[in-house]
Amino acid sequence: MTQQKMQFGLAIRGQYAADQDIQVCFEELITECKAAEDLGFDSITKTSHYSTAPFQAFQQFPILARLSAETSRVRLNAGIILLSLHKPLDIAEQLATIDIMSGGRVICGVALGYREVEFAAFGSEVKKRGKLLEENLIALKRLWTEDSVTMEGSHFELKDASCCPKPLQNPHPPIWIGANANPAIKRAARLGDCWYINPHNKISDIKEQIEVYKRALDECGKPFPDELPMRREVFVAETREEALRIAGAVYQEKIRCLSELGPRRSTPRRRSQPRPRIRRSRGRPVYHRLTRRRDRTDHQPPQRDRHQPSDHVDPMGRHAAFADHGHPRHPR
């Protein structure tokens, strides 16, 4: 097997404090993305959420469309589209258009979503998200590869529907499926081009879930994919102490805001794993993950030489990593 290089991408969320000048923020975002291409990054990822107060946030597809003109080489990753919220014909045509605008550089990253406010706003229910995602994925691929599609889903009906023009990439842009729990990883093996590994699971959990993914691929008769993307959250500074000084308070604010958005389903907890405990500080919940005595808490990973390769490279085997990055003032 030919050895392929590790690729590195930059994930931008485009979330800003309510008091920031949003026009300036947009200009800075575009400058950052152009610099990332000049510096040799392989891809730029734009994430997606709706109803993002107390933050301002740019929407995914318009930013990717703009970047298709502002860049010429980097892949443009819609990572991720909350596909359970949408109708497949709309997503198919929009991504096909951006793929053409960018010269065939689009990646279609999809996942379930988990926020009640988003599902309610789109007229759907969280409990139906798995079925919605699967129906949309099947329809999406058919619209990209067939001239006419007739298909009835639980929330849409296609009657000789077409997606014209088709994406430039043949047969379609790569489909990366985000998944946390084992059943979702099996879905990614069955319906996607690869599993899109989330940024918040421990490396030890991912090592075990890789085996789940491999077995699911074998059951589907599919080979291991040529690329296996992983997202990790990173802040770079000269020292660990300097990184904590600059970004620590902002990251705590991010955790606080996420806790208020509602629960996120993750990997199944092992029986030996203690449950998270919650304490309150000045009326605000502060979440801590209890770990075994030898472990550190999530916000204090073990010290590592910044020039030493991280331990996620070897077990994954290959081929893509994304730094979830932003200015210290912008909670992600």
Q: Return the pLDDT at 235.
A: 87
Extract the tokens encoding 45.
């990822």
Secondary structure string (H, E, C) spanning the chain: CCCCCCEEEEEECCEEECCCCHHHHHHHHHHHHHHHHHCCCCEEEECCCCCCCCEEECCHHHHHHHHHHHCCCCEEEEEEEEHHHCCHHHHHHHHHHHHHHCCCCEEEEEECCCCHHHHHHCCCCHHHHHHHHHHHHHHHHHHHHCCCEEEECCCCEEEEECCCCCCCCCCCCCEEEEECCHHHHHHHHHHCCEEEECCCCCHHHHHHHHHHHHHHHHHHCCCCCCCCEEEEECCCCCCHHHHHHHHHHHHHHHHHHHHHHCCCCCCCCCCCCCCCEEEEECCEEEEECCCCCCCCCCCCCCCCCCCCCCCCHHHHCCCEEEEECCCCCCCC
Return d(Cα 153, Cα 10) in angstroms, integer. 35
Q: Which residue matches tokens 């970004």? A: 247
CA atoms within 13 A on the CB side of 269: 10
Q: Return the pLDDT at 172.
A: 98
- Is residue 211 within 8 A of residue 202, CB to CB? The reply is no
Q: Return the pLDDT at 325.
A: 45
Return d(Cα 195, Cα 186) in angstroms, integer. 9
Q: Return the pLDDT at 76.
A: 98
Q: Return the pLDDT at 238.
A: 95
Per residue in 243-267, pLDDT (tens digit) is 999 988 888 877 777 676 655 554 5
Return d(Cα 140, Cα 145) in angstroms, integer. 9
User: Is the peptide bond prior to 54 cis by the omega test (within 30 degrees of 0)?
Assistant: yes
Extract the tokens encoding 152.
């009835």
User: Which candidate, 147, 159, 167, places its Cα nearest to that of 105?
Assistant: 167
CA atoms within 13 A on the CB side of 220: 20
Per residue in 115-128, pLDDT (tens digit) is 999 999 999 999 99
- Range 7-241+310-324 classified under CATH 1.10.1740.10: no
Q: Return the pLDDT at 125.
A: 94
Q: Return the pLDDT at 118.
A: 96
- Is residue 176 within 8 A of residue 107, CB to CB? The reply is yes
Q: Return the pLDDT at 313.
A: 34
pTM of the model: 0.80
Return d(Cα 299, Cα 132) in angstroms, integer. 35
Give the residues of the chain that fall short of pLDDT 70.
Answer: 1-3, 258, 260-332
